[in-house]
Structure 1
Amino acid sequence: MSALIDALRRRLPADRVITDELRRLAYGTDGSFYRLIPEVVTVVNDEDEVRDVVNLARQHQRPVTFRAAGTSLCGQAVTDGVLVLLGEGLATCAIAVDGATVAVGPAMVGAEVNRRLAPLGKKIGPDPASINAAKIGGMAANNSSGMCCGTAQNSYNTLAAIRVLLADGTVLDTGDAASVATFRVSHAALLSRLDQLADDVRADAALCERIRTKYKIKNTTGYSLNALVDFTDPVDILAHLMIGSEGTLGFISQVTYRTVPEYAHKASALAFFPDMETACRAVVGLKTRPVDAVELLDRASLRAVAHKPGMPPLLKTLDEGATALLIETRAPSAAELQERIGAVLDELNAYPLVEAPAFTTDAAEIERLWNVRKGTFPAVGAVRKPGTTVIIEDVAVAVPDLAACCLDLQHLFAKHGYHEAIIFGHALEGNVHFVFTQDFGIETEVARYAAFMDDVCALLVKKYDGSLKAEHGTGRNMAPFVELEWGARAYGLMRQIKALFDPEGLLNPGVIINDDPEAHLQHLKPMPAAGELYAPVDRCIECGFCEPQCPSHGLTLSPRQRIVAWRELSRRHAAGEATGELGEDYLYQGLETCAGCGLCSTACPVGIETGALVRAVRGENLSGVARQLGQVAAQHFATTQALARTALKAGHLAESLVGAKLLGKLTGGAWKAGMPRPQPAGRATASQGDKVVYFPTCAGRIFGADTPAEALSATVIRVLERAGYAPIIPAGIDALCCGQSFASKGLAAEADRKSAELEAALREASDNGKYPIVLDASACSLRMKTYLAERLPVYDLVEFAHDALLPRLMLQKKADPVLIHLNCSARRMGAETKLKALARACAEQVVMPPEVKCCGFGGDRGFVVPELNAHALRKIHDDVPANCCGGYSSNKTCEIGLTAATGVPYQSIVHLLDECSQEAARMATC
C-alpha cells in the first residue's frame, strides 16, 4: 500500500492524500450502521484526478469507493481500500437560460441546486430528506427520491444527460454528440453486449413483464434493469444503468436533469383516521386527486413526537391504532390551490375521521405540521440507549397492499422485541420507513437483528412482491437479498452488468453484488458511549446533516467526525488503551479548529451542538496554569480589557513600522488588515425619551474605530437617541462580560460567574426588568438569552433595531449595494429576516453571500487559528459586488475577519442605520 500512497502523492497535492488515523476513521464513517477504515483517502477536484487515482488503484489492485456527502444509509460509501472523496472542484452548476435543464457536478449539494433554480420557479426532481446535505453524485448513484418526487421525478426519469468515467479511464458524455460518436467506436463491444442483453430481456416476455412490474413502485434494489426494457439505444441503456449503480459501474462526473416546477402556493393538512386500514384506503383514493405528498404516520410515530414543543395536542389522546396522513397540495396560483384543496377534502370526507381536517396555507403552520413528520426519525434516535444504533429501513409495496403490509410489520416488531419501532413514509408510493434501535455490541442482539431481517425480507418478497429497498439504495445492507427479491434470472443479468463494466471487480466491491449471505452482518459500526462530558453526543446518529453548516468541514473535521473520533477516544480511555496519534491529532483537528458556533445543532435531527462537547473537552484539557489565568482574567476583567487595548495599540504601532502584511506573517495570521483601533466606550447624553438599557459588549469596547465617534458604542447610543430613546449604561461596564469568551475556552464556571455578575448589573439598570435591555453583539445576546431563560427582557441589537428603531427613523437609501453577514449566533436566534429587512431599508441592493454560514472567527479562533476563518470564507469572494459600499453584521470579531478576507470594511448593522438616518435628517433640513 505504501507504493500506492507514494504514487498518489506524486499525482495529487500532499494535503489531499490523507493517511492519518484520525481522518481515515472519520471518513470511514457514513450515515449507515457499517464502518470500514480506508487505507488512504484522496480528495479529487476534477475528472482527470479521478481517472488517475482509479488508474493507480487498478495498477496496485486496490478497491476504490467514491464518496460524496456520506449521508447514505446502507453502507455504500465506506471501504477498506481507496476512498475517493469529491472535492469542491466538482461542485459545478450550469442552468439553462429557460431553467428547463440544469447540468450539475457530483459535489453540489442538492438544496444548493434548488436554491439557484428557485428564481426560475424550478427545482430538481429528487427530494430526499437529506437534500440539505446530500450531494448530486450520491443522489444520482442511489436514485434517491423523497416525499414528493415519487417515481416520475427521480433521477432515472428526469435524466437528460450524464457524463461518466468508466473503470478503464474512458469518459462518455451522453449530452455531447462528439463524445457519443467516439465512444460508439472505442467501446463498440461493450455497447454491443448491452444491446444483446436488452434483446435477451425483451425476448423473455415473463422477465420483461416482471421488470416493468417491479418499477411501477419505488425500487432501488440492485441495478436499474428497467433500462434494458425502457430504451433501445445502448448509450441510453448505459446512461440509465449508471443511475442507482452506487459507484460500482463507474464514476458520475456530471448529471443533467430536466427540472420540474416548484409552485409557490402550497397547503398542508394533518388528517387523523381511526385505524391503519382506513388511512391506507384513503391513500388509494387520494392517488386520483391533486396531491403532491401524502405521508403516513402510525400511532407509535405520533406518540414519539407528541410531547415535543409545537405538536398538536390531539397527538396525546389518540386511540391505539390511530393513523395520520400528512397531505400537501401545490398549485401555480392561489385560486387553483383552493380548487385542489376542495378536491382533496371531497375525497377525505368519504372516510371516517377522528376530526375534520383543515388545510392551512400559512407558512409557519405548514412548517409546524411537517415538523410532526420530520420529528419521527430523530425522536427514536434521541431516546435510544447509549451504545445502540438507530436503524431506518425502507420498503415499498403496491398501494392497495400498504395497510396489510404495515400491520404485518408491526407483528414482526412484536415478535422480535422491537417495541420502540415506528412506521412512517411516503404513502402515495406505497413506500414506508420503519425505525428501530439495535445494539450491535452483543452477539445475541446481532442474531436477533439477523432473524428479524430474514423475516422482513421473506414477508416483503413472498407475500407482497415488494421492494426491499425503495429509495435508500442497496449498499451492503441489502446486497445478500438482491437475488431473493429479483430471482435467479434477473440477478444473473446484474452479475453480467457488473462484470461488463468492472471486470476486475475493483469499483466498490461488496456493494449491490455480494456472494456473502451474511454481508449485512459484517463490518457493523460500533457506537461506544461518549462519556458524561456532554451527554447529548450519545444521541448522534452520524447522519452528516450537520456538515454543510460547519466552517471547519473540509479543513479538518466536521461535527459528525468530531463525535466519531471522540467516541473512539472514549472507548480507548474506558478500555485503558493509549489514545496514540489519534488523540494527539484530535487536539488540533477536533478542538482547536472548532469555531464552537453551534450551527451544527440547527441542522442536526436530534439537536446536538457539537461545540458544547468541544468546550467541555477544552475545559477538561486545560492545564492548572491556564485555568488559574482564566480565573484571574475573570476576576480582574477591567485590567484584562485594558491589557488587550494596550496590545492592540502596540499592534498598530508595529503595523506602522513594518506594514500589515508582514505583521500578519510575523504573528501567524493573528494580525489582520484593517484591524480596529481601541477606543473608550461611548457615553449616553439624552435624559428624555423612552428608557432602554444598553450594554456595550467587551469586543466592541476593545476593538473600536479610527475616531471615538465611529466606535460601536458611540454609534449605538447616537442612533438610540435619534430614535427617541434615553439609553442607560450599566454601572461598572469595564468589569462586566457576558461570559462567552470564557465559555468558548472551556472555563464554564468562570463564564457562568461573569454571566451572573452581568445579570445583577442589568437587573439594577433596568429596574428589575422594567426597561428593555439591548446588547450590541449577537454572540453575547445569545449567551445571555440562554443564561437568563427569559428572567429579563434581553434583545439583540438586530432584533431591537428592527422592531423598535426602524419605525422611528427616517432613512435615506444608499444606491450602491451593501453586503450583509448573518453570523452564527444571529442565525441561531432566527434573525435572518430582520437583518435583511434592516439592510433593505437602508440600501437599494442587499447581498448576503448564500454559501457562507459561520465565518469561522469563533470569538478568538480567527486570531489563534486564522486558517479556520480563511477556510470558512473561501467562497465569499465571488459574491462581493464590484461597487460595494460596505459590509454589515452584528459581531465585532466576525467583522474583523470579514474585513480582512474581502477588503470590504465590515461594521455593525447599526452603522448603516446611523449613516442612512443621519443622511435622511440632513436632506430633510435642506
Structure 2
Amino acid sequence: MLDTTATVSDEGLDRQGPDHQGFISAISTILPDAAIVTDPLLCLTNGTDASFYRLVPKAILYPETESQVSRILAMARRFCVPLTFRAAGTSLSGQGVTDSILVKIGPAWKQAQVGEHGESITLGPAVIGAHANRMLAPYGRRIGPDPASLDAAQIGGIVACNSSGMCCGTAQNSYQTLRGARLILADGTTLDSADDVSRAEFSKTHGEFLGELKAISDEVKRDTELAELIERKFSIKNTCGFSLNALIDFTDPVDILTHLMVGSEGTLGFISSFSYTTVEDPAHKATALAVFSDVRTACMAVARLEEQPVTAVELMDGASLRSVHGKPGMPEELDQLPREAAALLIECGSADPRILESQVDRVTRELRDIEMLTPLEFTEDAGRRTALWAVRKGTFPSVGAMRPPGTHVIIEDVAVPTAKLADAVLELRESFSNYGYDDAIIFGHALAGNIHFVLTPDLGTTEALDRYGMFMDELASLIAGRYQGSLKAEHGTGRNMAPYVELEWGEKAYDLMWRLKRLFDPAGILNPGVILNEDRNIHMQNIKPLPLVDSIVDKCIECGFCEPVCPTREYTTTPRQRIVGLREISRLKETGEAPDRMREMVKSYEHQAIASCAGDGLCGQACPVGINTGKMMTRLRSQAWGRTGPGIASFLGRRFATVMSMTRWGLAGANLAHRILGARAMSALSRGARKLSGGRVPLWMPAMPTPARLARPGSFPDQERPRVVYFPSCASRTMGPALGDPEKASLSTPVVSLLEKAGYQVVFPDSIGGLCCGKPFDSKGLFNEAERKFSELENGLRAASRGGQDPIVFDTSPCAYRATHEHACNLKIHDLPDFLATHVLPKLDVVAREKKVAMHTTCSTLKAGTEQRLHELASACSEQVVQPSGIKCCGWAGSLGFTLPEVNASALRTLVGQLPDDCAEGVSSSRTCEIGLSNHGARPYRSIAYLLDRCTQPREHR
C-alpha cells in the first residue's frame, strides 16, 4: 500500500460515493477563491476539450504549486472525488473531460530552462510545445514530439498522451527522449527521477510500492510470450493502453515508474515537470511532392524510403488531395488527378547543405523506377516548401470547413506495420463506403505506418450513433485483429478506444494494466474511465451536442488551436470557450431545459464572453477553419444595442470633430490633475472612482496620453516633390505622448519629418478633424455608422490623392488594415511601417543606433502579414530587437483598455519580465496599444516613426 505523505489524512473516507460538495467546501482551505471555479458557464466552457465528448465538471481548480496538488489529491481521497488533470485541452479521445473535478494547469506551470547548450530542456506542464522549440531554435534543436497541435498543445498533455507527429516516429517521442521528470503520485508524494536524493528518499518511503512494481516487471520478462507481444506492439506507434514497454525496457523500478507515466493520460499521477533530451532540427531542408496513380504504388515507394535519409514521409490518399484542390496556394500538379491517385510528401534535412544534396540524390535514385504522375522535384526554397506542406496540413481544415453544419469532426488514428500499409488503407476505404462515410479522407505518417482518417458524421440521432458504433467495431477488428496494429498510434486511448484495449492487447496484458492502475491509484481517483473502462459502450456516451448558432461559428470543431493567441485566455474566456457557451445557451433556449441555469449562463456570458472580447481576429488565423470569433462577439454587441445604439452612433459620428475636441480637453484636464496630484494620488483617486462607479469610470494610468497637436507639413515651392497623402488616425490626432515621456511631440511630427526627409510633399485630407475609418464604431457593433464613416473617409482620401494617383499613408495599423483588407476602395493605402520600410528608409542614412529596442507587432500587422517591415525598421535603428514571446494581441482593443483595463493587464502580464534592463524603449504602430504597452512594460512604447526619425537624416546631407 502506498504511503500517504500529504497534509490531509484519509480519515473519514467515504467509500460509498463521491462527496463533491464536501470536497469543494474543504478545498477552500487549500486554494484561494479565484482558483476554485463553480460558475456553470465557466465549468462548461473550461471543461470542454477537442474531443467529441461532453462532460461538465462540478468544479475546476487552478493549483499553482506542487504542494497544492498534493493536498488536492489528499482531499480527493478523503471525499472519494475523482480528479482529471488538464493542460491545453487539445486531446481528441476524451481523456481530458470529466463530470467530477477538473484540475487545470495555468500560467504558474510555465517554467522552462534550456540546458547543456540546447542538448536538454526542462519544461513545466503548461509550456506550449512550439514555445519550447522557439527557445531551442538558436541551438538548432527541438523537442522530439511534433504533433500537429504543437502551436497549442502543452507539455503536460504531450507527455501524458505520448504524442508524436510527422517527423517524430517511435524514436523521438516523449518516452524515448525522457531525461527526467518530477511526478506527484496519487498519495501526494513528489518524486524527482533526475535527482539521486529524491530517488533514494522515495525508495525508503515507498519500498513496498517499488518492490511490487519490480516484481511485475520481472514477471513480464519471464513470460516470453507476453514480453515479445509488448516488444512487437511498440515496434510501431502505440498509445493504446499503458506504456507496458517500460516493464521490459528498464530494471530500476523508479525508471519503470517514470516511463509508465508517459502516455498514462493522468490515470497514474501528475507530471509537474519534464526534462527532454532534445533532437537536431536541421538547418537545411528539401521537400518534394511525389504523386502516384494509386495508394499501393505510393506504399511501394514508402517501403523503399524506410532505409533512406528522410525526415518525413507523409501519405495522402485521393480524397485528401481532392479536399485541397483549387485552394489558394495549392500546387498546379494537383489539378486533374485520377480519383485513385495518392501522394507522398517527402522531406530530407541536414545541418550541412552538401549532405542534404547527397540525401536528395539518394532518394531520387531509389524512387526513379517507380512510376509517378508528376516529376519528382525537391525544392529548398522556403516559400515553395511551405506551399507543399500546406497540401498536407490543409487536408484536415478543408474537410472541417466543408462539412455540413452541426456534424462532428472525428479524427481517428491507427498504425499498422508498413508492409501492410497499402492493404489497410484500401480496406479502410471499403469500410467507409460500407457505413456511408464516403467523404472521409486518409492521410498519415507513412514511415511509421500511422494512418489518420477524418469522418464528419452527424451523431445527433440514435441511428447515426449506432452506425458509428458498428463502424468502430469493424475498425477494431480490422486494425487490431487482421493487421496486428495499434488502435491509437499517437492520440491517446481516452474514452474513445477504452472499450477495445483488451481486444488489441489480449486478456493477459489487459489484466496487467489493471494491476498497474490499482497499484498506482488504489482509491481510483485519477481520471477513472480513461484507458481502462469496463463499460463497453463508453465511447458512444456523452456525445458533444453541436446546435446551430450562426454561420460565423457553426463550423467550429472546438480544437482549441485559437486559445494561445487570445488576450483574454487567462482573464475570462477564449474563442473556443465563447463558442461552446453560445452553443449551450442556444440549446437551452431551444429546448426550454433548465431555465434557471440558462438565465445564469446568459448573465455570465455578457462579461465573460461578449464584453471582454478584444475582437482582434487573430483567432481566425489560428483556427483551422478560419473562424473569427471576435466577429461573432461584435455581432452580439450590435444586437444588444437595440434601437437606441444606431441613433447615438449617428449623433456622435456626424459631430466627430467636436467629440475629438472634447476628448482632447478631457485628456488635458486629466493631465492637469496628474501634474497637481502626482501619479500615486491620481492612481488612487482613479481606482476609487472606478470602484464606486461599478467599473463605468475609465481607469487612469501614468501612461495616459496628453492632448495631441497636429503637425503642419512644410511647403517646398521650388522643388518637384512627389506627393503623399498622410492620414493621421483619430487616435493619433487626439492622443499625444504621456506626461513623463521624453518625446514631447505628437506622432504627426516625426511622420511628417520622415516623409519630408525622404523628399515627399505631405498633404492632409480636407476636414481631417471629422474623419475616421469607422473602427471605433465597428468594434462596438455599430455597423451602420462605421460604414458611413469609412465611406466619408474614402471620399476625402480620394479627393486628397487626386483620384487615387498619390500614395496614402495611415499612421495606425488597425485603421490601415480596415481600409486595405476589410474594404475594397481601390486606393494606394499603406500602413506606416510598410511605407517607411519600402519608400522612406532607402532614401535616408541611419546615423545613430540604440542598443536594444523592444518591438510589439499589432494584431492588424500580424493579420496583414507585414510584421517583417516593422522588424526591418527596428533592426536598422538598433543593435538588438527584443520580441517578448507569448504575447500576440496586447488586449487594449481600441477603447477596451480604458473601459476594461483588466484585459490589457492580463494580456501583458508577462511583458515587463521579458524586457532587459538596458532596453529603454519599445516600438509599435498603434497609439492606443502603446498606452497599455508603456504602462505594463514600465518604459515608453511609441510609434516606430519616433525611433526612425531620431536615427536618420536625409541622404543628401551626408
TM-score, normalized by length of structure 2? 0.94
Q: Is the 8 A contact 2:240 2:486 kept in 1?
A: yes
* 1:351-370 alignment runs, 5 A limit: 351-370=370-389
- Distance (Å, rounded) in 2 between the aligned partners of 1:633 and 1:361: 55
Q: Is the 8 A contact 1:25 1:37 kept in 2?
A: yes
User: What's 1:911 paired with?
Assistant: 946
Deviation string 1:375-408 (CA, Å, 9 cap, x unpaired) is 1111111111221111100000000111110000
Task: Identify which range, 756-765 or 37-46, moves more after superposition.
Answer: 756-765
User: What's 2:63 paired with?
Assistant: 44
Residues 237 and 709 of structure 1: is their aligned pair in 2 closer, same or farther, counting only changes over 3 Å?
Answer: closer
User: What's 2:913 paired with?
Assistant: 878
Q: Give 2:572's match in structure 1, choosing from 531, 535, 556.
A: 556
How many correspondences in the alignment?
920
Q: Is the 8 A contact 2:443 2:452 kept in 1?
A: yes
- Distance (Å, rounded) in 1 between the aligned partners of 2:789 and 2:346: 49
Q: Give 1:692's match in structure 2, choosing from 706, 717, 724.
A: 724
Q: Is the 8 A contact 1:813 1:844 kept in 2?
A: no
Residue 477 (structure 2) pairs with residue 477 (structure 1): no
Deviation of the 1:652 alpha carbon: 1.5
- Distance (Å, rounded) in 2 between the aligned partners of 1:468 and 1:650: 68
Task: Identify which range, 608-617 or 689-698, moves more after superposition.
Answer: 689-698
Q: Give 2:660's match in structure 1, choosing from 638, 641, 655.
A: 641
Residue 621 (structure 2) pairs with residue 602 (structure 1): yes
Deviation string 1:99-154 (CA, Å, 9 cap, x unpaired) is 22111111111111111111111111011111111111100000000000100000
Give the secondary structure class of the aligned counterpart of 2:276: strand
- Distance (Å, rounded) in 2 between the aligned partners of 1:307 and 1:571: 36
Residue 248 (structure 2) pairs with residue 229 (structure 1): yes
User: What's 2:844 paired with?
Assistant: 809
- Distance (Å, rounded) in 2 between the aligned partners of 1:749 and 1:389: 36
User: What's 1:664 paired with?
Assistant: 686
* 1:366-377 alignment runs, 5 A limit: 366-377=385-396
- Distance (Å, rounded) in 1 between the aligned partners of 2:495 and 2:542: 10
Deviation of the 1:686 alpha carbon: 3.7
- Distance (Å, rounded) in 2 between the aligned partners of 1:495 and 1:794: 66
- Distance (Å, rounded) in 1 between the aligned partners of 2:217 and 2:936: 56
User: What's 2:13 paired with?
Assistant: none
Residues 247 and 844 of structure 1: is their aligned pair in 2 closer, same or farther, counting only changes over 3 Å?
Answer: same
Give the secondary structure class of the aligned counterpart of 1:849: coil
Task: Identify which range, 397-406 or 765-774, moves more after superposition.
Answer: 765-774
Residue 556 (structure 2) pairs with residue 540 (structure 1): yes
Deviation of the 1:345 alpha carbon: 1.1
- Distance (Å, rounded) in 1 between the aligned partners of 2:176 and 2:100: 33
The RMSD of aligned alpha carbons is 1.5
Residues 824 and 667 of structure 1: is their aligned pair in 2 closer, same or farther, counting only changes over 3 Å?
Answer: farther
Deviation of the 1:574 alpha carbon: 2.9
Task: Identify which range, 761-770 or 337-346, moves more after superposition.
Answer: 761-770
- Distance (Å, rounded) in 1 between the aligned partners of 2:853 and 2:884: 11
- Distance (Å, rounded) in 2 between the aligned partners of 1:701 and 1:861: 19
* 1:398-417 alignment runs, 5 A limit: 398-417=417-436
Deviation of the 1:189 alpha carbon: 1.3
Q: Give 1:569's match in structure 2, choosing from 585, 591, 594.
A: 585
- Distance (Å, rounded) in 2 between the aligned partners of 1:278 and 1:495: 42
* 1:458-537 alignment runs, 5 A limit: 458-531=477-550, 535-537=551-553
Unaligned runs of 5+ in 1: none
Q: Give 1:794's match in structure 2, choosing from 812, 823, 829.
A: 829
- Distance (Å, rounded) in 2 between the aligned partners of 1:73 and 1:869: 32
Deviation of the 1:714 alpha carbon: 2.2
Deviation of the 1:450 alpha carbon: 0.5
Deviation of the 1:847 alpha carbon: 0.9
Deviation string 1:845-875 (CA, Å, 9 cap, x unpaired) is 2111122211110101100110110111100
User: What's 1:762 paired with?
Assistant: 797
Q: Give 2:893's match in structure 1, choosing from 834, 853, 858.
A: 858
Deviation of the 1:248 alpha carbon: 0.1
- Distance (Å, rounded) in 1 between the aligned partners of 2:29 and 2:743: 55
Give the secondary structure class of the aligned counterpart of 1:319: coil
* 1:253-268 alignment runs, 5 A limit: 253-268=272-287
Give the secondary structure class of the aligned counterpart of 1:438: coil
Q: Give 1:329's match in structure 2, choosing from 320, 329, 348.
A: 348
User: What's 1:704 paired with?
Assistant: 736
Deviation of the 1:709 alpha carbon: 7.2
Q: Give 1:395's match in structure 2, choosing from 400, 414, 421.
A: 414
- Distance (Å, rounded) in 2 between the aligned partners of 1:748 and 1:159: 54
- Distance (Å, rounded) in 2 between the aligned partners of 1:121 and 1:813: 33
Amino acid at match of 1:567: R
- Distance (Å, rounded) in 2 between the aligned partners of 1:708 and 1:110: 40
- Distance (Å, rounded) in 1 between the aligned partners of 2:376 and 2:791: 48
Q: Is the 8 A contact 1:57 1:82 kept in 2?
A: no
Deviation of the 1:815 alpha carbon: 3.7
Amino acid at match of 1:522: Q
Deviation string 1:337-389 (CA, Å, 9 cap, x unpaired) is 11111111112212000011211111111111111111111111111122111
Q: Give 1:677's match in structure 2, choosing from 706, 721, 725.
A: 706
- Distance (Å, rounded) in 2 between the aligned partners of 1:277 and 1:708: 68
- Distance (Å, rounded) in 2 between the aligned partners of 1:54 and 1:686: 75
Deviation of the 1:601 alpha carbon: 1.4
Residue 870 (structure 2) pairs with residue 848 (structure 1): no
Q: Is the 8 A contact 1:679 1:708 kept in 2?
A: no
Q: Give 2:643's match in structure 1, choosing from 624, 645, 657.
A: 624
User: What's 2:448 paired with?
Assistant: 429
Deviation string 1:759-795 (CA, Å, 9 cap, x unpaired) is 1222222222222211111100111112333622211
User: What's 2:695 paired with?
Assistant: none
Q: Is the 8 A contact 1:813 1:841 kept in 2?
A: no
Q: Give 2:145's match in structure 1, choosing from 126, 131, 135.
A: 126
User: What's 2:438 paired with?
Assistant: 419
Give the secondary structure class of the aligned counterpart of 2:117: coil
- Distance (Å, rounded) in 2 between the aligned partners of 1:98 and 1:798: 36
Task: Identify which range, 635-644 or 681-690, moves more after superposition.
Answer: 681-690
Deviation of the 1:877 alpha carbon: 1.1
Q: Is the 8 A contact 2:333 2:374 kept in 1?
A: no
Q: Is the 8 A contact 2:856 2:883 kept in 1?
A: yes
Deviation string 1:811-862 (CA, Å, 9 cap, x unpaired) is 1232431111111111111122111110010111211112221111010110
Q: Is the 8 A contact 2:849 2:876 kept in 1?
A: no
Deviation of the 1:708 alpha carbon: 11
Give the secondary structure class of the aligned counterpart of 1:156: coil
Q: Is the 8 A contact 2:415 2:486 kept in 1?
A: yes
Q: Give 2:51's match in structure 1, choosing from 32, 49, 52.
A: 32
Deviation of the 1:802 alpha carbon: 0.9
Q: Is the 8 A contact 1:162 1:173 kept in 2?
A: yes
Deviation of the 1:667 alpha carbon: 4.8
Residue 934 (structure 2) pairs with residue 899 (structure 1): yes
Residue 818 (structure 2) pairs with residue 783 (structure 1): yes
User: What's 1:838 paired with?
Assistant: 873
- Distance (Å, rounded) in 1 between the aligned partners of 2:676 and 2:626: 49
- Distance (Å, rounded) in 2 between the aligned partners of 1:106 and 1:903: 29
Q: Give 2:114's match in structure 1, choosing from 89, 95, 109.
A: 95
Q: Give 2:788's match in structure 1, choosing from 753, 760, 768.
A: 753
Task: Identify which range, 621-630 or 902-911, moves more after superposition.
Answer: 621-630
Task: Identify which range, 417-426 or 882-891, moves more after superposition.
Answer: 882-891
- Distance (Å, rounded) in 1 between the aligned partners of 2:559 and 2:617: 17
Task: Identify which range, 479-488 or 332-341, moves more after superposition.
Answer: 332-341
Deviation string 1:3-32 (CA, Å, 9 cap, x unpaired) is 222222221111110000111001221000
